[in-house]
Every structure is written in structure tokens, then in C-alpha cells.
Structure 1
Amino acid sequence: MPGEIFDNQGRGEASWRWPPIHPEGRKFGAIAGALCLLTIIIGWSWLAWLLAFLTAGVLAFFRDPDRVVPQDERSIVSPADGLVTLIQKVPPPRELTLDDGSGTKPLSPEPVTRVSIFMSAFDVHINRAPIGGTVRRVIYIPGRFLNADLDKASEENERQHVMIERPDGLILCFTQIAGLVARRIVPFVKPGDIIASGQRIGLIRFGSRVDVYLPHDTEPRVVLGQKVVAGESVLAELGEKRLIEGIAQ
């Protein structure tokens, strides 16, 4: 049940179930399913099979499984399912370093660690908040639709910046980036909303990427090539700076 507490002492009751489909995807599944039914009625069995696979693929793309979110105030959780493809020291996006007149302190232009998570068409595409707090900025920027795995996608692709401020004043920003096939970023939050760590905040349709900009005194707890899970995998712990290595096997 949503909101149930689980811990490492066995508290909670967990069982496998089919993941629900997010409402944003039900209309696409219904359209594909209707076309499949129409081809069956007409007698185009070969096309019906293709549309049946398409319907299943669309519903799978918009699946929205529950996640067990770590309740540690030091943890920054992954906002996306996918593969860690880039970890770099870069200046934060210019749009987040400017004073927008809202009273919220902008980010410093000094370089920070950016962790990029690439979502393939087979990953869950519901994005989640990496920390809890108040949404201070949601900035949409139109752009191109390059392969989201490319470094320059952070500056050239259609994207949306989200800034969250915790009650203690810590600010964390991340960017949803549309990809080669993705054509729309769908936000679930707006400035002023108070959200919890791991809460659903939006989605990007059909393959994309999310960049997370870590605070200055924090290094990632993930390595290149690692698979992460939105709302569950811990990307970093605030104030932690140490080398972490991995070996591909």
C-alpha cells in the first residue's frame, strides 16, 4: 500500500504485483489498442500482431511502479531509472545562476559535479525528486532533439530545470532533457509546491536523460556504467567526498 513503512528489520509487507500504468500513458495505450482491435475486425492479422506488440510496449513504457525511498536526510536519491553515462565537473546551467527576482538564492557559477543518467526506451520514465523540500524554480527551455547520451545535449536539447530548496536552505537542481525520440517533457510540479524525497515530479516521453547537479561538498556514490533506480538508488550523501571504484564483469 502507498506510504507503508519498510525497514531492514523486516517491518512492512511486500509482494510482487503488476506495476500500474501512469494516467499520462493510458490514452496512448487506448489508441494503440483501438487500432489493434480495428485491424482484427478488418482481418489484417499480420498488422494486428504488430499493433498488439506496440500496445504492450506503450503500456510498458508508461509503467509506474511503487518505490521504497530511503528516509535519510543526507541521501540524494536518483531522480531517474537508467544508466550513469557521465560524471563531470561543470558549471551549472546559466539559467540557474541568474537572479530571477523571486528571492531564492541562485546557484554559484563555480563548477560542481554533474551526474547524468540516460534513460532508454525500456526504462521507467517517471522522474522523482532527489530530495524533499520546496520547488523554487521550474524553467522550460526549447531546443533540439539530439541523442540524449551526448554531452552537448545538456546545452542544446529541449530541457527543463527544476530547483528544490530544503527547509535547512540547501538547494539542489536537476535537469530533464529530451532525447532523440522524446518530444515532450511533462511536469507534475510547479514553483511553490512542497514535495517529499522520491515523489513523482514529471516524465519525459520515449527516451531521454536527467542531469543532477550535486552540492559543492558532495561527491557521487555511483560510478560510470552503473544502473540506478529512481527514488531508491542513492546518488550521493551530503558532505561525503571519497573515491568509489567499480569493475565491469
Structure 2
Amino acid sequence: MFHKEGHKIILVTFGIVVAAFLLVDHLIPIKWLSTTIMIVLLIFLILILQFFRNPKRKTTLNDLQVIAPVDGKVVVIEEVEENEYFKDKRLQISVFMSPINVHVTRYPIGGKVVFSKYHPGKYLVAWHPKASEENERTTVVVENKSYGKVMHRQIAGALAKRIVNYAKVDDVAMQGSESGFIKFGSRVDLFLPLNSNVKVKLNQKVRGGESIIAEIHE
């Protein structure tokens, strides 16, 4: 299954690859060269299909747990000052996505969307320390009575040129359901209450909608 955000790109890419195959076969008589070009084009198509895949995930709903919003690798676990919404200290956990990861963004907790904002910005590499505050990004805060408020921030990287955010204020968010999509590599930051019990480690790989990032006790 492929994500709806990729349908147009997949169709256009498929058409270009098919047309290129026909042209190469007709215009390049050197067999090894034409075969090499066709293999490169086929790999390119496979990478596009890989990027826009949208596998089903089995989310175990739990209002006391925060789950991974995306696939990728945990690159930050630290206490920071969050200045956009909370304006106090929060626990930041960041997940970096490579171009081959699934790029669907999922709600880390269920509850009510209380904040959703888009920010234009730069395209620094996603692991840059200032990317969270200077890059193009969207910030979403979801609240439930058990966990409180949890922020997730989609951040564009050097390759990502479009962030899609479905979250709107007053929406009812279901944990693990789609909240957006980031095209071509980036990262997502989570900002949690300081009393959260972190369940991941640096450099650990996580699966969006399934891996438990943190939990809290009532």
C-alpha cells in the first residue's frame, strides 16, 4: 500500500521511467550501456515506491504511553527549554528518518489537538542542533487526561521540501493514526513532561505507531 501523498509522484515517475526505457532501447545501441541506464532507472523507481510505502501498524492504545510518531533512529534524549508552546523545561526525544524509512507521521498519544501551527524556515540538515527552531516545521500538541500534553514537531531536512500536517485544533486524535507526512527525509521531535519514564535509548531504532517511547504513572 502506498501513501496518498505519493500517488501523483509515483504515477509521474512511472511514466518517466517507462518513456526513458523506450528511448534508451531505441537510441542507445550499446547493449551494456543501455542495460546499465535501465537498471539505474529501475532502482530509482523502486526507491520512490519504497519511500511512499504505508504499511499497516498494530497500535496498542494506552493513554499512559507515548508511542513513536515515525520510523527511524533515536538521536536525542535530553532536557530542554521548549519556547514555542510550553515555555518551560521538557524532555525532548528526537527520531531521525533516513530517506528509506516510512515517512508517515502518527499521533504519539490519543486525545484532543490543542495546538497546531506551521512555520516556514530553513532546510538545515535534520540533525543540526538548530533545526528544531530554524527549519521549516509544524508543531502539534495533543492532550489527554492521563498523560497530559505531548508535543510532536515535524522538521524538514536538507532533502525534505514539503511537510504535510493533517492536525487541526479541536480534532480528536487517535493514538497511532496519521497526523501527517514528511517528503524525503527529516526528523520528528517529541516534547514530554519531565516525569516521563523513557523506554528508549540513543541510537535505538523505533517503529512508528508501535514502539513505546515513554510512559507515565497516574
TM-score normalised by structure 2 residue count: 0.90
| Separation (CA, whole Å) in 2 of partners of 1:178 and 1:196 | 24
Distance 1:163 1:74, change over 3 A: same
| Separation (CA, whole Å) in 1 of partners of 2:93 and 2:205 | 12
| Separation (CA, whole Å) in 2 of partners of 1:205 and 1:78 | 18
| Separation (CA, whole Å) in 1 of partners of 2:169 and 2:44 | 36
Unmatched segments (≥5 aa) in structure 2: 26-33
Superposed CA deviations along residues 54-99 of structure 1, whole A, max 9, x for unmatched, are 111111101111111122221110101100011111011x221xxx
| Separation (CA, whole Å) in 2 of partners of 1:145 and 1:21 | 26
Shift of 1:174: 1.1
| Separation (CA, whole Å) in 2 of partners of 1:87 and 1:238 | 16
Partner of 1:40: 21
Structure 2 counterpart of 1:54, one-letter code? F
Higher RCO (C-alpha under 8 Å, 6+ residues apart): 2
Amino-acid identity (%)? 37
Partner of 2:97: 119
1:95 aligned to which of 84, 87, 92: 84
Superposed CA deviations along residues 80-139 of structure 1, whole A, max 9, x for unmatched, are 1100011111011x221xxxxxxxxxx2x2211100100001110001001001112111
Distance 1:73 1:35, change over 3 A: same
More helix per residue: 2
| Separation (CA, whole Å) in 2 of partners of 1:119 and 1:175 | 13
How do 1:73-88 and structure 2 match up within 5 A?
A: 73-88=63-78
Partner of 1:71: 61
How do 1:1-249 and structure 2 match up within 5 A?
A: 20-44=1-25, 45=34, 46-92=36-82, 94-96=83-85, 107=86, 109-167=87-145, 170-239=148-217
Structure 1 counterpart of 2:78, one-letter code? Q
Q: Is the 8 A contact 1:35 1:51 kept in 2?
A: no
Q: Is the 8 A contact 1:79 1:198 kept in 2?
A: yes
| Separation (CA, whole Å) in 1 of partners of 2:205 and 2:115 | 28
More strand per residue: 2
Q: Is the 8 A contact 2:115 2:142 kept in 1?
A: yes
Shift of 1:24: 0.9
| Separation (CA, whole Å) in 2 of partners of 1:47 and 1:175 | 39
Distance 1:47 1:135, change over 3 A: same
Partner of 2:84: helix, strand, or coil? helix
Q: Stretches of 4+ moved more than 6 A in 1?
A: none
| Separation (CA, whole Å) in 1 of partners of 2:147 and 2:207 | 26
